[in-house]
């Protein structure tokens, strides 16, 4: 499959557009409801982080599919220019706050999760083997 790549403005509307494209592809591939939910939820968290914390004007979404002996591997990369500023951690934030919970969820629900920052770009990489409803 040819990689699907598109650049979006950093906005909540763009998140919905990017997620819609990913969800449509998952449905086309007959991905199970559970797998679709986990992939879309992790993508939403990654994209929300870009909108809320990157300070940038655009991001790129790249989706690739690979056929492996274990099944179809979906690789999703979200990239943007480096973060303009880092918000210092707020030590007064209560422990029950939902802030910061997205990274452990992405790590748990994806087969592989990586956040990489360099001087040139920030990349969130999500990988998941797709399980179809037929295998349940």
Return the minimum-mean-pLDDT range out of 18-22, 25-29, 76-80, 88-92: 88-92
> Could you tell me which of 46, 57, 49, 55 has the C-alpha nearest to residue 22?
46
Dihedral sign from CA coordinates of 42, 45, 47, 50: negative
What is the set of domains in the chain, with CATH numbers? 4-85+97-135 (3.30.565.10)
Is the CB of residue 74 less than 8 Å from the CB of residue 39?
A: yes
Determine the length of the chain. 136
pTM for the whole structure: 0.82
CA-CA distance, 90 to 48, in Å (whole number)? 19
Q: What are 30-87's pLDDT values in tens digits?
A: 999 999 999 999 999 999 988 888 888 999 999 999 988 888 999 999 999 887 655 4
The three-state secondary structure class of 22 is: helix
């Amino acid at each position: 499959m040819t990689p699907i790549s598109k650049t979006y403005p950093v906005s909540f509307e763009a998140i919905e557009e990017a997620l819609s494209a990913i969800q449509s592809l998952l449905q086309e591939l007959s991905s199970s409801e559970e797998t679709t939910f986990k992939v879309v939820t992790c993508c939403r968290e990654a994209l929300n982080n870009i909108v809320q914390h990157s300070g940038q004007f655009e991001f790129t979404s790249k989706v690739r599919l690979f056929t492996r002996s274990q099944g179809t591997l979906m690789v999703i990369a979200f990239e943007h220019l480096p973060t303009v500023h880092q918000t210092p951690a707020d030590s007064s934030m209560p422990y029950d706050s939902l802030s910061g919970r997205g990274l452990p969820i992405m790590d748990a629900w994806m087969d592989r999760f990586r956040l990489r920052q360099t001087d040139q770009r920030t990349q969130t990489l999500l990988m998941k083997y797709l399980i179809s409803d037929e295998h349940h």
